[in-house]
Amino acid sequence: MANTPQPGTRERIVSAASLLMQRQGYEGTGIKQVAQEAKATLGSVYHFFPGGKQALGVAAVKHADQEFAAMLSASLSGEADPAKAVAVCARALADHLRDSGWMDGCPISATALETTGRAPEIEQAVAAAFQHWRDLVAGTLREAGFAEGVAHDLAITVINTLEGAELTAQVFRSETPLLVAGEHLARLIDSYRS
Amino acid sequence: MANTPQPGTRERIVSAASLLMQRQGYEGTGIKQVAQEAKATLGSVYHFFPGGKQALGVAAVKHADQEFAAMLSASLSGEADPAKAVAVCARALADHLRDSGWMDGCPISATALETTGRAPEIEQAVAAAFQHWRDLVAGTLREAGFAEGVAHDLAITVINTLEGAELTAQVFRSETPLLVAGEHLARLIDSYRS
DNA sequence: CGCAAACCAGAACGAACGCTCTATCCAGTA
DNA sequence: TACTGGATAGAGCGTTCGTTCTGGTTTGCG
């Protein structure tokens, strides 16, 4: 259900919405702009998303969830040591952010902040995405032998810190916050080693 | 220059703008809404801010900067041990977030994310605020005897992690991310103790 | 082949946006 | 009393917003 041979209209719309909302936020992104960027028309957008902008937002968040999760598990599985894996992940985020001209930070945090308490469906999709990413980190830690509770708490902080570091790195146009976060998270994880 | 006996119109406008942008983001906040909330008129807003919405955004960010810095230094100076102080700070943020009905998270991150690369003046004010907060943390750490470089890097991660934890706590409507962040940050700081 | 369903296209709607404009009020000065 | 300039007030500008509507085109199946 995910990929048509040539990217179908619906998928182009979701991708465009996801990218635009990542860069401009939810309120800053117009449906007409999404249609134009996706090389689709307004009619198509409302055909696939009768729920309007909110439904489009939910789809965009879910799309970003999947994309980021893929990038996350790729980074995490590349290293046997979870501490090093997290640092590698931070570096990957820094590289991607720099290469995009400091435009592509966390794909959902802007949307998350603008819609908290005002668009429950989007908020729920955002929470699900964060939970999804946490679970990936927690799973990696458990496989490396960390106790359940420790892995759970560490996963929370890993995602939080990467999130915050990405925000700061974007604002300062500097890789430093992400790289420092990688080092500190690795040190924190190591400190729980049995 | 800061406080007129009865809060002047300009101050009311800035406070309202700051609060609304904190909760709804920059794009999600209209100037007419700001005027209404501040019990002022549109004419007054443009009288005090001829630069329009961007100028108002800059003033709102600077206002939030000062407010948050006051809260931060109050929390930090309440404890002699900087590790405990950071944990106390995280708890204070969690309390404030919960008491506001999960509405008042970081006062500038929504604005920051929506305006990166599109409103240089706002971006600069946001960067200055983050730097300001970092400096407060770094100063506290140095006074407690941490080496310059260590204090600098720790301050970066402390602010980042609190930022990310506040975002996540808001999305999940849970104090846990902030409290866990406080514990982990304290542990991280302790691990650098000489 | 016939025809309904799915999909694409864009004009048009009311509302809201940021912003400009003119008009009025009022303290301070001469 | 007349003038001045900061502050207040809100109607209204052009634009864009999300959304709806009416068609046209393609597609799949009986």
Give the residue on B whose Cα is nearest the Cα of A130. B168
Kindly state the helix (H) or strand (E) to which residue A193 belongs, with its residue range.
none
Residue percentage of chain A with pLDDT more than 90: 88
Q: Predicted confidence band at A1 (pLDDT cuts at 50, 70, 90)?
A: very low
**Nearest CB to B117 within list A103, A130, A160:** A103
The alpha-carbon gap from A46 to the nearest alpha carbon of chain B, in Å, equals: 22
The answer, as to whether pTM is greater than 0.85, is yes
Q: What percentage of chain A reaches a pLDDT higher than 70? A: 96
- Are the beta carbons of B130 and A101 separated by less than 8 Å? no
B160 with A153: Cβ contact below 8 A: no
Kindly determine whether the C-beta of residue A9 is less than 7 Å away from any atom of nucleic acid strand C. Answer: yes
Give the residue ranges of chain B where pLDDT is below 50.
Answer: 1-6
> What is the pLDDT at residue B9?
85
Instruction: Centre a 10 Å sphere on the Cβ of residue B146 and count the other Cβ atoms it contains.
Output: 21
Output the pLDDT for position A161: 98
Residues lying close to strand C (Cβ under 7 A), chosen from 55-94 of chain A, are none
Q: Mutation test of the interface with chain B: which of A61, A118, A166, A167, choosing the one with the most B Cβ atoms within 10 A?
A: A167
Report the 10 Å Cβ neighbour count for A158. 28
**Residue B22 backbone dihedrals phi, psi, to 5 degrees:** -60, -40
Residues 93-132/A with CB < 7 A to strand D: none
pLDDT of residue A7: 67
Collect all residues of chain A within an 8 Å Cβ-Cβ radius of residue B113.
Answer: 25, 105, 109-110, 113, 167, 170
Instruction: Check whether A4 has a pLDDT greater than 70.
Output: no
Contacts within 8 Å (CB) and 24+ apart, A63-68: A63/A14, A63/A15, A63/A17, A63/A18, A64/A18, A64/A22, A64/A107, A64/A108, A64/A129, A65/A108, A65/A125, A65/A128, A65/A129, A65/A132, A65/A133, A67/A18, A67/A107, A68/A106, A68/A107, A68/A108, A68/A129, A68/A133
Q: Cα distance from B24 to chain A (closest Cα, Å)?
A: 5
Q: Which nucleotides of C are covered by protein (CB under 7 A)?
A: 7-12, 16-23
Task: For A164-193, write each residue's pLDDT tens digit.
Answer: 999 999 999 999 999 999 999 999 999 999
Q: Using alpha carbons only, what angle is made at residue A82 by residues A76 and A86, rounded to the nearest 5 degrees?
A: 60
Q: In angstroms, how far is D29 C1' from A147 CA?
A: 58
The reported pLDDT for the residue numbered A3 is 31
| Distance CA A52 to C1' C15 in A | 16
Q: Do B110 and A105 touch (CB under 8 A)?
A: no
Question: Band of the pLDDT at A61, cuts 50, 70, 90?
Answer: very high
Is the CB atom of residue A8 positioned under 7 angstroms from any atom of strand D? no
Q: Give the Cα-Cα-Cα angle A138, A141, A146 (nearest 5 degrees).
A: 115
